[in-house]
Structure 1
C-alpha cells in the first residue's frame, strides 16, 4: 500500500510538473521499504510510460545528442551504478539517495528564489556529470536531476529536450529491466507491476487534470520542499 501511494504521488506530480516520477516515488517508498526491492517494480512501470511517450514524440528526438553525447556516457555509468548496488547495501543506498534528493531539491529552491538562469558548462564538466548521472541511474533508476544539471545551457528546443530525455530513460530502463531479468529479481515482481499499473494510470490522470488548475511554479516549490524533508528523513534513518 505504501509503494502504491508513493507511485500515485510520484507519477501524479510528474504529470503536473514534467519531472520526478521515479525519484519522488523511490524517495517516499524508501522511508519504509528497501530500495533494492522497489526498483524491479518501478523500472517496468517507467518503461511502459516512457515507451508510450517516446513513440508518441519520436519526431522531436535530437538523435545526434542522444546517440553521440548522452548514451555512451550514461550507459557506462549505469552499468557501474548497477554493479555498486550490492556493495553499498540498503543503508548505503538510502544514504546516497538522501544526499542526492537534498542536493537536487536545495539547488532548485535556490535557483527559483534567486531567479538564476542555467549557464552552459565546459565540455569536460558536462561529460563528467553525464557519467555520474549514469551511476545514479544504475543505483536508483533516477539519473534525471544530474543529467538535467549536466545539460544546463545546452541549446535545444523544449520539445526536443523533453523527447530526447524520455528516450534516454527508455533505453537505460530497458537495460536495467534486462539486468533485473538476469539477476532473478524481475520475475517475482511482475505481479506487483500488474497490480500497480492502474495506480500509475490514476496518478497520471489526476496529474493531467490538475496540470492546468494549479500554479506550477508554486507547486514545484512545494515539491522541492517535500523532497528536502524526505531526503533528510532518509539520511537520519540510514544513520541509525
Structure 2
C-alpha cells in the first residue's frame, strides 16, 4: 500500500485528474498531458500500462454516448488500418530505445505539437488539407507514436488537417480510434506482463478518472474552450521542453 502513496504516484494521480478532465472538456489530451507531466517523475514504461487502460474507460463511455456521430468510412478506410499497423510497429521499437531516449523523443513530439497549436491559435491560422498520400503517411507515423507513447493524437490531428468533417463527428471518430488502439495496447501489455504490476494503481485511479469525466462534462459548456486549450498547450510546451532537454 505504501508504494501506491509515494509522492511520484500521488502527483501522477493529480496529473491524471487534470488530463482526463481536459479530455472530457475538449476531446483531447488525457494521455499526452498525463504522460508529459508524469514522465518527469516516473519511467514511461511504468506509466503507460496505467494510463492506457484508464483511457479505455473514458473513450469507451464517450464512444458509446456519441456513437451516432462516428464517421465510419473515415475510421475504417483511412485511420484504423494505418494506425493499427503503426501502433504495432511503434511497440516493436520500444525495446530498442532506453527510457531517457523515449522521454527525449516524446518531449520533442510534445514541443512540436504544443508550439504548432499555440502559433495557430495566436495567429488565427486555418488548417490546410494534406494530399491523400501525405495524409496516409502521417497517419501511419501517428500510429508509430501511439505504439511508443500511446500518444498518437498530435500527429493524427495533423494528418487529418482540413478533413471535411463537422467538429462533433471528427471528435467522436477520434475517440473511437483511441478506444480501439488502447484496447489493442492493453492486450499487448497483458501479454508482455507489464499490465499486471499496474493493477493495484489502476484500482486506485479508476475513481479519479470517473470524477474527472463528470467534472469535464460539467465544465464543457461553462468554460471558454479556446482559452483553456491555450493554457493547456502552454503547460505542455513547458513539460515538453523539460523532457527534451539533454541530460
Q: Under a length normalisation based on structure 2, what TM-score does the superposition of the two structures give? A: 0.93
The partner residue of 2:64 within 49, 55, 58 is: 55
In the TM superposition, residue 216 of structure 1 has moved relative to its aligned partner by 1.8
Partner of 1:183: 192
Q: Secondary structure at the match of 1:43?
A: helix
In the TM superposition, residue 51 of structure 1 has moved relative to its aligned partner by 1.0
Unaligned ranges ≥5, structure 2: 1-9
2:213 corresponds to 1:207: no
In the TM superposition, residue 15 of structure 1 has moved relative to its aligned partner by 2.2
Moved more, 46-55 or 206-215: 206-215
The answer to whether the 8 A contact 2:27-2:175 is kept is no
The partner residue of 2:148 within 139, 143, 149 is: 139
Distance in 1, matches of 2:215 and 2:184, equals: 30
Describe the shift of the 1:167–1:194 C-alpha distance in structure 2 as closer, same or farther (beyond 3 A): same
In the TM superposition, residue 157 of structure 1 has moved relative to its aligned partner by 1.8
Deviations, residues 168-189 of structure 1 (Å, cap 9, x unaligned): 1111111101100100011121
2:83 corresponds to 1:74: yes
Deviations, residues 204-231 of structure 1 (Å, cap 9, x unaligned): 2233333333322112111111111111
Distance in 2, matches of 1:43 and 1:88, equals: 20
Partner of 1:84: 93
2:229 corresponds to 1:220: yes
Distance in 2, matches of 1:63 and 1:221, equals: 30
2:115 corresponds to 1:106: yes
Partner of 1:43: 52
Partner of 1:127: 136
The answer to whether the 8 A contact 2:58-2:213 is kept is no
In the TM superposition, residue 64 of structure 1 has moved relative to its aligned partner by 1.3
What is the correspondence of 1:6-21 to structure 2 with a 5 Å cutoff?
6-21=15-30
Moved more, 142-151 or 209-218: 209-218
Deviations, residues 121-167 of structure 1 (Å, cap 9, x unaligned): 11111001000000000011111111111111111122221111111
The answer to whether the 8 A contact 2:59-2:179 is kept is yes
Q: Under a length normalisation based on structure 1, what TM-score does the superposition of the two structures give? A: 0.96
Q: How large is the RMSD of aligned CA atoms in angstroms?
A: 1.1
The answer to whether the 8 A contact 2:21-2:215 is kept is yes
Paired positions, count:
238
In the TM superposition, residue 88 of structure 1 has moved relative to its aligned partner by 1.0
Deviations, residues 97-143 of structure 1 (Å, cap 9, x unaligned): 10011001000011011111111111111001000000000011111
Distance in 1, matches of 2:116 and 2:52, equals: 26
The partner residue of 1:28 within 27, 37, 40 is: 37
